[in-house]
Amino acid sequence: MFKEVSSTIAAGVSDKVVMVGLLSDGLKERESHCHSSEIWRVRVWSRFLPKFLFVQAFKYLEWCGRIICRFWRQDIRVLHAHSLNALPVSVVLKFFTGAKLVYDAHELEIERNGLEGIRKKISQVVELFCLRFADGVIVVSDSIAEFYREQYKSVCPVVVRNIPAKALLTRHKEISLRQELSLNEDDLIFLYLGVLARGRGIPEMVRAFEGHGGKSHIVFMGEGELSNEIKESQQKSSRIHLIPPVSPSDVLACASEADIGCCLIDDICLSYRYSLPNKLFEYLFAGVPVLINDLPEQRKIIEKFDCGWVLPIGESCISEFLTNITVRQIESKKDGVAHARQSFDWSHEEKRLLSLYRSISPVP
């Protein structure tokens, strides 16, 4: 989202951007982001109520109502709904302001992990209804674009991949994982970056490294619901490590010392199957070959550039990989990683984003 904001302002497509979210503990209600943009996190007074379905609906309506009250009389040129949750309130504001509406489905919204039953039915109906008011649709992969074209015949999505801006990943300091974790030079470092959540192959990785007797180590850099489970495993095995996340500007410095990046997303929903996570590109930008599960969008990149390995999904496959991988095999992927790193850049995606904006709302 921040990349898109910076790109539209720098290109003169927008003069001012207000990013709207939900206020949570530890965050400021209002915050300046960069020149000509600000963040407003909406305070929802009902957020402390229980998380029953109808109560959640009430919280959502309060959030929408506060947004509408602030913006319904303002001069807005483009409304950019960055998720399905933001789409209905954007449709209402489009009615009041006459603004153009962009729906940015940063994942396959109606096929998300955990979305089922009545919640899924509601999401499908909401998206179907609201899409008729969208002037443009953005998705993050070719497979998701094809899904939307088949699901909604009138929709022609623009693919804007979630590739990090290299300028934001410039190394600000040197960080040595080996020194911090007291690892030897001949130890192999497998690195996981990101949220420690289910559906990302974390339990399988932990069990595989617990049972491995070689020189390979897994480093989890992040935080989330699985943090405590990883800490418990860390006590049992010297090959499992958990360290806190770093700022985006320091990601490359940390990742560059790893030998292999892990992006083992589980094939448990269509959103995951068709995903193209930015962590994949961060590993490549850091010069690190990537280990992925056999998912189509990620597999296309790995096979095109020969910049990593594609595994069948399962703990036993990870264990077998740990047993057989060699330094020579890792080195053989470096040329492919370098080629991929040169081929991917946010500037290519930015052109598609700005072209969409200019087509639906030409700059005066």
CATH number of the domain within which 21 lies: 3.40.50.2000
* Same domain (yes/no): 151, 7: yes
* Same domain (yes/no): 53, 99: yes
Torsion of CA 353, 363, 5, 124, to 10 degrees: -60
Pairing of strands 100-105, 136-139: parallel
* Same domain (yes/no): 314, 190: yes
How far is the C-alpha of 205 from the C-alpha of 198, rounded, in Å? 12
Residue 89: partners with Cβ closer than 8 Å, 6 or more residues away: 63, 64, 67, 68, 81
| CA 7 centroid distance within chain | 18
Give the predicted TM-score (pTM) of the model: 0.89
pLDDT at 2: 79
Six token digits for residue 335: 């040329």
Q: How many domains does the chain have?
A: 2
Q: Over its length of 364 residues, how does the chain's per-residue pLDDT go in tens digits?
A: 778 888 888 888 888 999 999 998 888 999 887 778 899 999 998 888 887 778 888 999 999 999 999 999 999 999 999 999 999 999 999 999 999 999 999 899 999 998 899 989 999 999 999 999 999 999 999 999 999 999 998 899 999 999 988 665 555 556 678 888 889 888 999 999 999 999 999 999 999 999 887 889 999 999 999 999 999 999 989 999 999 988 877 888 888 889 999 999 999 999 999 999 999 999 999 999 999 999 999 999 999 999 999 998 777 899 999 999 999 999 999 999 999 999 998 989 999 999 999 999 877 6
Per-residue b or e along 141-178, where b marks 16 or more CB atoms closer than 10 Å to that residue's CB:
bbbbbebbeeebeebebbbbbbbbbeeebeeeeebebe
Burial of 80 per CB tally in 10 Å (0-12, 13-18, 19+): buried
* Same domain (yes/no): 90, 128: yes
pLDDT at 262: 96
Query: Whole domain around residue 18: which residue ranges?
Result: 2-163+346-360
pLDDT at 168: 56
pLDDT at 153: 85
* Same domain (yes/no): 183, 156: no
* Same domain (yes/no): 313, 205: yes
* Same domain (yes/no): 267, 331: yes
pLDDT at 181: 87
* Same domain (yes/no): 206, 334: yes
Six token digits for residue 235: 């006590």
* Same domain (yes/no): 155, 255: no
* Same domain (yes/no): 241, 296: yes
* Same domain (yes/no): 262, 174: yes
* Same domain (yes/no): 119, 177: no
